Amino acid sequence: MAIVLAPMEGIVDEVMRDVLTGIGGIDLCVSEFIRVTDTLLPLKTFQRHAPELFQSGHTRFGVPLRVQLLGSEPQALAHNALRLVEYGAKVVDLNFGCPAPTVNRHGGGAALLKQPDLMHEIVSTVRAALPETVLLTAKMRLGFEDTSLTLACAEALVSGGVGELTVHARTKVEGYRPPAHWEWLARIREHVSVPVVANGEVWTLDDYLAIREVSGCDTVMIGRGLLAAPDLARRIAHYHATGEKCPPASWAQAMVWVLDFYAQCRARGEGTPYPVSRIKQWLPQMKRSYPEAEALFAAIRKLTQAADIQTVLDAEIRR
């Protein structure tokens, strides 16, 4: 079994990856997507999105990072994938699932699920450009508006050369609305010849056990569930090791992680909006597990200065 931290654009950057992998239980993480148009991207773009690639390819806590590319131009994706390998990547991941309207309007992400032939061309072109030793993986949704092309898309990716396929068990139109259709994961897994990673609507240990049972998948990718409950992967690992279900971390413990996160954000972006925007993104995600997070967010919501937010956070942990 393995737990993968999902590549959530705009929030799971290197600081969030550092904090969550430091808590434990995560076996692998995937970068936010790097958008590819028709050019070879400069070194600084890869350094900004995936600094771990240039630090042994792992987070500070030894968890490997895979770098994800997003685009619709086969040759450009191939050239940039090869550049990733030159920088040390052992795995390249391709995004066929992002539901963001700005991405889809430019023919990327989930918009490609309307065109299985183009998906196949992209994958086969990238695969041909890479050394045989490099694993090519991909992530998709069940479709754009419906599931009429689900199996065709999965088959296009696998026949094109991906060696592992992650599937978010909803369509683009469904977005993140529950439920996720875990039964489709089993259908895809039975249809293709490569490992399938299950993704979608895993918030608790019981959800994790259920998605594995329904899908038959050994590996599960978790995104929002780990933002809401940062120790979820650690509790899953504990269950696998002992058979015991341990209680979630207390709010006091969660605040230690919040303070670590905010300190790293300030160190990375002091004097910019970065630390303020990042903490305001994370706290609303946590309120599903911690009612205290909602009150804390309300206390900082109108603050714009990093130092003022620091004062509120420091007071919260002393309570």
Residue given tokens 């303020």 in the structure block: 276
Tell me how many degrees the CA angle 282-212-141 measures, rounded to the nearest 5.
60
Going from the C-alpha of 269 to that of each of 12, 73, 296, the distances in angstroms are 16, 33, 22
Q: How far apart are CA 197 and CA 44, in angstroms?
A: 30
- 199 in a known ligand binding site: yes
The residues, any chain, with a CB within 8 Å of residue 151's CB and separated by 6 or more, are: 187, 188, 191
Active site residues: 98
Q: Are 218 and 3 in contact (CB under 8 A)?
A: no
Phi/psi for 317 (5° steps) reads -75, -20
Count of CA atoms in the C-beta half-sphere (13 A) of 257: 26
- 201 in a known ligand binding site: yes
Dihedral (C-alpha) 17, 22, 28, 34: value to the nearest 10 degrees?
Answer: 10
Provide the 8-state DSSP code for 113.
G
Q: What share of the chain is helix, strand, coil (3-state, %, to 5)?
A: 50, 15, 35
- 168 in a known ligand binding site: yes
Structure tokens at 206: 């019981």
- 223 in a known ligand binding site: yes
Phi/psi for 24 (5° steps) reads 115, 160
Structure tokens at 93: 């991941």
Kindly tell me the number of DSSP H helices and DSSP E strands found in the chain: 14, 9
- Binding-site members for FMN are 68, 139, 168, 199-201, 223-224
- Binding-site members are 68, 139, 168, 199-201, 223-224
